[in-house]
Structures are given as structure tokens and as C-alpha cells.
Amino acid sequence: MNFEIARRRMVETQIVDRGIRDRMVIDAMLKIPRHIFVEEAMSAQAYSDTPLPIGEKQTISQPYMVALMTELLELSGTEKVLEIGTGSGYQAAILATIANRVYTIERIRTLALRARKALDSVGLLNVNIRISDGTDGWETEAPFDAILVTAGAPDIPDALLSQLNAGGRLVIPVGDQFEQTLVKVTKQEDGSIRRESSVACRFVKLIGKHGWSLDD
């Protein structure tokens, strides 16, 4: 399989044709080899228009959703970004191709180690990975210019809002355990919050102290 051709076709038909216009997002999606971030047995499906399982009951998001969430952050290239839910590492790779520095938290150790290996293999050394409860954020590295949550939450964790810089953007799926709405939050200079709804979506649950419990 020619992965480069498949990747270009993915970007043209799944990303650009659906309205993604941010050139930095498009270029990042063209650059990062998505097949590196899935299991070898599924590499032929890496550029398909769907999420894929990555083990531990987790998934790598649909390419369009990765692009849309990244575009909503409105990155310029200088930001310090926090990602909650490293998963395969693919979303972190897209963020790190654009932003200055990415801090990403994963609660499942095996996924974090696999993501680290994949990120290193494509030369993205501006990503820090922590194994922890992502709903607490990363207080010692705060504040962040942008925060991206790649799991569905019952509401926006206060800890994440408090770690967002004035003028910063936070993107998170909010809803019940079966369906969410993608929400973009902008923190105003006076500390107030502007909340905007985007598209309906379905993510795995955000597990943690300020999210869902494993028993839910």
C-alpha cells in the first residue's frame, strides 16, 4: 500500500472537502504518517474515514475529528498546549507539528509507552507525556494557551479551566456516555468564559476524578 497517496487522498476527501481551511492543520495532516500510530495489522485501514481500535478499549479518532478539534484551537505555532488523553499519540503529533510545545496525559501506561515510541519515531521531541489522571490537568506546567480533551466528559473539569491562559481556547466533547457535543471554550481576559457548541460526536469516556468513573 502506498501510504503517502492514501494520506493525501484522506486529506483531500475527508478534511479539505469537509470544510477544514486552516493551512497549518492541513499541512500537519499531510505530514504525519497516521499508519505509524495504529497497530501494524490495521495499517491498511489507517487512512479510512473512521476511528480505529488501539487496544485497552480505546480508539484513534476519525481523521476529520482530529482536524476539526485542532482547527478549533486556532493555533498560530507559538502555543503551549495540553492534551488530555494521549491514546495512540496521533492527535499529539498533529498538535506538536503546529504548536511550540505539547504536554499530554494518558491514564493507561501501555498506551503512553506506545505513543512515546511512535512520537519518537517521527522525530517529535517537543511532546511531554505523563501517566496520570488527566481530569486534574498538569498544574506544575500551567498555564496553557490551548487545551484539547480527546474523551467525552459529563462537564468541563474546573481544573482544566483554571489552567487555561487568558485568551486561551479549550476544546472538549461534553455530554452523556453515548453521545456528546464538541464544545469550544474561550477564556476572556477578565477570566470569564465564552462557550460555543460545534458538532455532535461520540468519544470514549473521560475517566477520572472530575469525569466518569470506571464503574459508570
Catalytic residues: 61
Instruction: Say which amino acid occupies 153.
Output: A
Cis peptide before 157 (omega within 30 of 0): no
Where do runs of H (alpha helix) occur along 88-132?
90-98, 109-121
Beta-ladder partners of 144: 164
Query: Which residues, in sequence order, are CB contacts of 170 under 8 Å at separation 6+?
Result: 146, 147, 148, 149, 156, 160, 161, 164, 184, 185, 186, 187
Under 8 Å between Cβ of 166 and 178:
no
Beta-ladder partners of 182: 173
Under 8 Å between Cβ of 153 and 174:
yes
Distance (Å, rounded) from C-alpha 216 to C-alpha 201? 19
The CA angle 15-21-27, to the nearest 5 degrees, is 70
Beta-ladder partners of 195: 185
